[in-house]
Chain A
Amino acid sequence: MMPDLGRYATEVISAYVVSIVIILAIVALTLWQARKTKARLEEVEKRSVRRG
């Protein structure tokens, strides 16, 4: 299944690994920050409703 990358195998594979790691990192960071912010806002909104 793996294509024959010849003498440039290291370069090609490292380019894919580096890029996929950066893409997954920015996606994970974005989702984590978005969830954290949403949860914190809900908490602050509940608190401000209780206080009137």
Chain B
Amino acid sequence: MSLWEYANPRKFIATTDVVLPWFWAGTIACLVVGLIWGFFFTPDDFRQGSTVKIIYLHVPSALMAINAWLMMLVASLIWLIRRHHVSALAAKAAAPVGIAMTLIALLTGAIWGAPIWGKPWAWDPRLTSFLWLFLFYIGYIVLWQALDDMDTAADMTSILCLVGSVFALLSRYAFLFWNSGLHQEASLSLDKETNIADVFYYPLLLCIAGFVLLFITLVLVRTRMEIRARRMKALIARERMV
């Protein structure tokens, strides 16, 4: 069985009919357990106090904001190279979920920054590139809405996605290029010395799993919706021709 079989809209809908309930169940389980664990059953940090609890929302949402755009980039490249409509529609479907994740990351970052940095916002390379990513999400969604022809819209938004990927990568790696700014390095690391303490790490992993599953679930639901909307548009166009 090839991955490209899922480029067939019927096959995609039939398969997602089966897997979607499992994704919903996994999303709810991981998010509820992870957030309750993080909020109620983890200690305060010796420097940040109880604001450390914001990590369970900020890190997973920021991670997904960047990875959602990278998923859109892969889907856009598949569209540009192989012209599979489902991949273009999957990229379109991911954008509203990605912008929600970006908004959560920006707002929770500002709420955390106000008491810890003394200000909610700084024109730091990482924060600024994250704001640019947010603006690219808005531009991407608006461009899809502005163009009537689906193929033209998919072409134009795919090019916008390629350009926006620079900011998606910068928001992740900006601190490596500019050794300045307020934002600290990544909270998670494979190096035990620099990784956060286990007491925060395990609930955080569960929250990350919850956000990843939430993203996949919503993208699957939205892609099915976009496939149906495309078919509806085609049927209405055929009716008008008769």
- Give me the interface of A with B, judged by CB distance under 8 Å: 1, 3-9, 11-12, 14-16, 18-19, 22-23, 25-27, 29-31, 33-34, 37-38, 40-41, 44-45, 47-48, 51
Are A12 and B235 closer than 8 Å at their CB atoms? no
Are A11 and B57 closer than 8 Å at their CB atoms? no
Majority DSSP secondary structure for residues of B touching A: helix
Q: Are A26 and B235 also in contact (CB < 8 A) when A3-B50, A6-B50 are?
A: no
> A-B contact count, CB below 8 Å?
100
Q: Are A44 and B54 also in contact (CB < 8 A) when A22-B103, A34-B224 are?
A: no
A27 to chain B, nearest CB (A): 7
Q: Which residues of A contact B232 (CB under 8 A)?
A: 37, 40-41, 44
Q: Which residues of A contact B31 (CB under 8 A)?
A: 23
A24 to chain B, nearest CB (A): 10
- Give me the interface of B with A, judged by CB distance under 8 Å: 31, 35, 39-40, 44, 49-51, 53-54, 57-58, 61, 96-97, 100, 103-104, 107-108, 111-112, 114-115, 214, 218, 221-222, 224-225, 228-229, 231-232, 235-236, 238-239, 242
Are A27 and B218 closer than 8 Å at their CB atoms? yes
Q: Are A41 and B49 also in contact (CB < 8 A) when A11-B111, A19-B61 are?
A: no
Chain A residue nearest to B58 (CB atoms) is: A15
CA gap between A5 and B45 in the complex, in Å: 11
A47 to chain B, nearest CB (A): 7
A selection of 13 A-B contacts at a CB cut-off of 8 Å is A8-B50, A18-B108, A22-B103, A27-B214, A29-B96, A30-B97, A30-B221, A31-B221, A34-B224, A37-B229, A44-B236, A44-B239, A48-B235
